[in-house]
Chain A
Amino acid sequence: MAAALFGSVLLLAPGRAATILWTDVPQKLEQVVYSVVTYDGAALQSTFATEHSDTIYLLADVDSFVSVRKAFVYYWPLTREWKIDSDTLNEQLTGSLVISGGQHRVLLPVDYTYRSTTSRYGISWESYTDEQARQETSEYQDASDALARAVVAYTNTENRLNAERGRLIEAIRSLVRAGKTAEAQRLVTQYNSLVEPVAPVQLGYEVRPLQKAFGVNLPQGTYSMHLRDWSGGTLEGSEKQLVVFSPLSAGVIGYDIIPGDRWTRPQESSSVMDALYVSGTSDLYLRPFEETELNDLDYSRMVDNQSLGSPRLFRWVRTRQVQSSVLHLRAEGAGSRPAEAASIVIEQPYFVHQVPGSSLGYQIVPFNQSQPDQQGHDPSLVAFHLPSGSGRLRFYLSRPDGTPYPGSEREVRVLRQDRHGNGLFLLALLPLLGLGVPLLRRLKSGRT
């Protein structure tokens, strides 16, 4: 009996050891993988589609770039998604991308790049192809090199200046110790006359390295596509369905509503049908942004080809903050501010600083670089300020020339939370009076 048990342990041991050793090593498969880079109006989105995914999603009438490559893919059970091991194999496949459905298109690879420009309203992206792309990257390279040279020159000048300052300080100390105050004074004047070098200005934009891919810009529709290699055949595993979708609505204005006492908890108003309810205990700061309304499934899969989404829901995706606009206000209802019955608010920069002490709150103040705590800082936000009040406030956004932005109308309502609902509760009980109808009927029939 003991021998049998020992024997079975011996037999099972190698298998058990193998399980322990290899259970977490994912199996890697060589597959044709599509890489997709696109700009959704707010950020550059890149995803990939393995052979396990049969559909790629793109925005209609927007430049997107698709490349096909051979790579190892493996399933990662912890995050339940496919991953690419591009270190071992990452071979870009050449040929032409054939797109059918509607008009038949055969696309050849192009050089492309994206330029990102940073402003106080955020980052915007622009795509360039072929000659323009090469020119952009070349100019950016030159500008970067020039900046690097300027930084080196600035650093050298700064180092030389510091060395000179050190030398002068030593000399002044020696002269002071020796009692030669006149000569020391001369060196102090020389020290003060040293000019600080000007730091080179940052570029404020970035151009991504040049890459090769198929430039896809299609109208809304469902297409099929595959990679045709140079021999004219279809590359196995490259057949995909391409869903090109349009926004339900675009260019609509949404708002970040930031309460003055809770800078970290902004509320978002996406739809013109939204009413903004607040308690009215704090000032509000509004930050308008453009947004598009996209199908939840289509957008989710465009951003990440493996993600899930609801085909029946539409979600608002913010694109960029609206620049140089004017807010038109109209206060209505009881307790409205008479001075602001109809007024215009101009966008201003503000600075957020933490309230000292144990309250640990935030305070939003107008940005003023002459204030000691704001020196060397950028504004925390650029927004419209609405003082706290009561009643109802309607507003819309316009361009500086007064042209209203579509879908920018909103309503802020300060709830009357001090009112108790006892009267309303009694009102809700009012239908109980209807019980009198059957009672009366019974009484009446009883009498008769």
Chain B
Amino acid sequence: MSSSAAPIGERAQRSAPLRLRAVRVLARRRLLEHLLTPATWVLATFGLVLAFLIVEGFVRSVDSSGFDFSLHPPYEIIYGIIGSAFGVTYVRQLFGDGPFAFASLVAFAPVLLYLCLTSIQRFGQERRSGVVDLVAAGPADVPAYLFSFGAADTLVVVAYLALTGLFLAISGIVWNLAFGLTLVAYLLELLFFAASLLGLALFLVSLVRQPASAVALFLMVAAALAFAEVLSFAMVGGGPGSGAIVASWVLRWLSPFYYLDAARMAARSEQTLQFFSALLGQAVLCAAFLTGAYLTARSRGTQ
């Protein structure tokens, strides 16, 4: 086995077709793992059931004067929680065109979290057990290994988002809810968001030796970024603001949550350029995380 003193990625110059083939083989292996894990199916079901409950609750919250949060108790709670975090304007905009923006996000959250955590766990384990070195000794290298993880997880994300989109579209037909380009825009945002968050997960696992520590670090960083995003919506008085608010403004450029919100708001305002800029920002962030993961793995070795 190689040691950390001799970086694997630099050991041999692999040709592009070989590397691509390696990515394909490794990604297929990872994809098979997802398909053979019951948790994947259970969480997908859980996400869709959540989406169903949100859409059904929305339908029950409409009367002759329109949508009213107070008509359905769970929606009153949702209104209270999101409203207190982001403000009333935000929550009204979130449900302005129907329940699909929120439903798609909630349906996607458990699956995405699961993918991130399993990626961290699996990468950490395979690195410790020497699988990464073994694979890298052959035709693959560390970038190929990392990209295979990303590719397999992204495929799962695409499949699940397509399933969610189909489910929401059917519920739209059943209850006469509007769906169309906005739903596609929401799903597209979530795809880029997932790629970015998965990139962050791989970057963090490359920093820490222990898989459990990597999971803890990921959860902590993701929670901090999400909190920073909430803070950036805080009501301020126009002055310099508190240290936490200033920090949240700086952190937002490194936060997948920021780009997700920016894309969502741009989609709602029909600002095509801003929407695609937010997606581009998300893509750049994902690339930066993957590059960070690769560089860390190269400099510190895979063991």
Contact = CB atoms under 8 A, between A and B. Distances in A.
A248 B270 CA distance: 12
B233 interface: yes
Contacts of A333: 176
- Which interface class (under 10, 10 to 19, 20 to 34, 35 or more) fits B? 35 or more
Contacts of A281: 63-64
B268 A310 contact: no
Interface size classification for chain A: 35 or more
B66 A424 contact: no
Interface string B223-249: 000000000111111110000000000
A259 B65 contact: yes
Interface stretch (B34-42, B128-136, B281-289): B34-42
A54 B237 CA distance: 11
Interface in B99-138: none
A392 interface: yes
A259 B64 contact: yes
A415 B233 contact: no
A178 to B, nearest CB: 68
A428 B174 contact: no
B96 A278 contact: no
Contact of A308 (B62, B170, B235): B235
B276 interface: no
Interface centre among A57, A265, A273, A414 (most CB of B within 10 A): A273
A313 B59 contact: no
A434 B236 contact: no
B148 to A, nearest CB: 21
Nearest to A282: B64
A424 B174 contact: yes
Nearest to B56: A421
Contact of B66 (A257, A261, A433): A257
B36 A429 contact: no
A207 to B, nearest CB: 33
A261 B177 CA distance: 23
Interface string A406-448: 0000010111110101011101111111110110010000000
Closest 6 CB pairs of A and B: A267-B66, A434-B41, A308-B235, A428-B48, A431-B44, A282-B64
Given A259-B66, A262-B65, A431-B163, 10 more contacts: A55-B239, A257-B65, A260-B64, A275-B96, A277-B66, A308-B236, A415-B176, A419-B175, A430-B48, A438-B38
20 contacts: A259-B66, A261-B64, A273-B269, A279-B63, A282-B64, A308-B235, A308-B236, A310-B87, A312-B261, A313-B90, A415-B176, A417-B175, A421-B55, A421-B56, A421-B171, A424-B170, A424-B174, A429-B49, A431-B163, A438-B36
Interface of B: 35-38, 40-42, 44-45, 48-49, 51-52, 55-56, 58-60, 62-67, 87, 89-90, 93, 96-98, 163, 167, 170-171, 174-178, 182, 232-239, 261, 265, 267-270
